[in-house]
Amino acid sequence: MESLPKEIVNECLETVENIEERVQDLIKEREAFVCYNSKNNKGTLRCDEESVSGSVSQRACVYCGARVVLNPITDAYHIVHGPIGCASYTWDIRGSLSSGEEVYRNSFSTDLRETDVIFGGEKKLIAAIDEIVEKYKPKVIFIYSTCIVGVIGDDTDAVCKMAEKKHNIRVIPVKSPGFAGHKSMGYKAACNAIINLMGEEKSNQKLNGINYLGDFNLAGEVWIINNYLKRIGVDIIAKITGDSTCREIMEAPKAKLNIVQCAGSMAYLAKRMEELYGMPFLKISFFGVEDTKISLMQIADAFGDETIKERAKELIYKEEEKVEKELNYYRGRLKGKKAAIYVGGGFKAISLIKQFKDLGIKTVMVGTQTGKAEDYDIIRSIAEEGTVVLDDANPAELEKFMLEKGADILVGGVKERPLAYKLGVAFCDHNHERKHALCGFEGAVNFAKEIDLTVNSPVWKYV
């Protein structure tokens, strides 16, 4: 490969020097949210709290959290009650795949302006619902409250109730003013909207299957897991919410068991369903070979059926055999690299540490936006001595610890990508911009391949 012109190399070197200068110490109030992992220091890491004011958290707003959860319902209509800017947070940047309807890829907004802030936006919302009903004949509409609606105090509950009566369809309010907290509160608002759709009545009719919670089918993951479960003889009643429909979500209370992939967004829903319908739940993870194997056996055990258990063992044996050779190839290429992880929820972070370990990669920094105390306990028990563990980080902290620990790759979401590239570090999107399914046995190979492609790219020699 030809070398880069001298001016570009100098410019890059200057940028790296500037970055090193820019890295400052932690903000005092943030110190308790960060630690170096140590067996001798088991003190608690602060987490699951409001972000420190002025720390420039990587967390998204309440409305964005709600949208992440509800948008993948393929046949629902979504009206964003707020200024047009909020509506830009849509399928285009939070993609998920559908095997049927494509309605969810559209976004509708009430486009609130200054006069609506003064005189109220309820009339506009009523008009928007009427227009959508007339043009598209929807069965379910979700109405999202945004910051401005929280400020002007539109009564969206009353508007939704009136619209339900008038049109004889479900019109469900999602209480998600952006400033009311952070992404986790949006997850909760979305879960409450899902309960509203299901109804609080316990059904006497039981179906012999499970609900799969917290997979948004970003690159076809739901289809992979559905296929595994079918092969072992377990049916999915409702997928919540990747590639789901309103009808199947309404059937969910009849299932036997909930399995929860993304606990950050769906543990609340699983707990509510346990209270309302007496439905037990299992936290599982299909990221990485080890966790996929454990999860399949946990599901088979929950059914207590010997045939299902035997089929699960057989599937694990066959699938593991298929991927072992390829994984060995990548293990050879990745051994000794150092990884930094910054993702949404704790369960994903735990699986990623295990996946990296399996590939011979050391995790030097790990953090989450919405991890809970129990997630951090597990993270600290499996992370190596000296690994930086941090909750609700900001870009300056991510920079500081990645440079300090000499990370070769950062795994994160769309907001972390530019940071990695500016530091001249490889990046893997494990969030909504991923293009290949990263779950199950085939997902483990896709993940290793992606890490190899980025971390061993020749481009890093030049920055």
Asked if 86 is part of the footprint of ligand SF4 (rule: CB under 6 A), the reply reads yes
Nearer to ligand SF4, 72 or 150 (CB): 150
Binding span for ligand SF4 by CB under 6 A among 10-18, 61-69, 159-167, 396-404: 61-69
- Minimum CB–partner distance for residue 146 and ligand SF4 (Å): 4
| Whole-number Cα distances in Å, 245 to 188, 212, 224, 252, 369 | 20, 13, 18, 11, 28
> Is-contact 36 387, C-beta < 8 A?
yes
Asked if 82 is part of the footprint of ligand SF4 (rule: CB under 6 A), the reply reads yes
- Minimum CB–partner distance for residue 176 and ligand SF4 (Å): 7
> Is-contact 30 51, C-beta < 8 A?
no
Binding span for ligand SF4 by CB under 6 A among 82-90, 97-105, 330-338, 398-406: 82-90
Write the DSSP string, 282-326: EE---SSHHHHHHHHHHHHHHHT-HHHHHHHHHHHHHHHHHHHHH
Nearer to ligand SF4, 173 or 253 (CB): 173
Tokens of 290: 């080890």
Q: How many residues of this chain interact with ligand SF4, rule: CB under 6 A?
A: 9
Asked if 61 is part of the footprint of ligand SF4 (rule: CB under 6 A), the reply reads yes
Which of 47, 147, 383, 428 lies at the binding interface for ligand SF4 (CB under 6 A)? 147
Nearer to ligand SF4, 182 or 405 (CB): 182
Q: Which residue has the tokens 């998920």?
A: 96
Q: How many CB atoms sit inside 10 A of residue 266's CB?
A: 29
- Minimum CB–partner distance for residue 140 and ligand SF4 (Å): 22
- Minimum CB–partner distance for residue 174 and ligand SF4 (Å): 11
Asked if 361 is part of the footprint of ligand SF4 (rule: CB under 6 A), the reply reads no
CA distance 308 to 295: 13
Strands 388-391 and 34-36: antiparallel
CA distance 431 to 92: 13
Nearer to ligand SF4, 80 or 364 (CB): 80
Strand, coil or helix: 65:
helix
Which of 57, 90, 98, 146 lies at the binding interface for ligand SF4 (CB under 6 A)? 146
Task: Give residues in contact with ligand SF4 (CB under 6 A).
Answer: 61, 63-64, 82, 86, 89, 146-147, 178
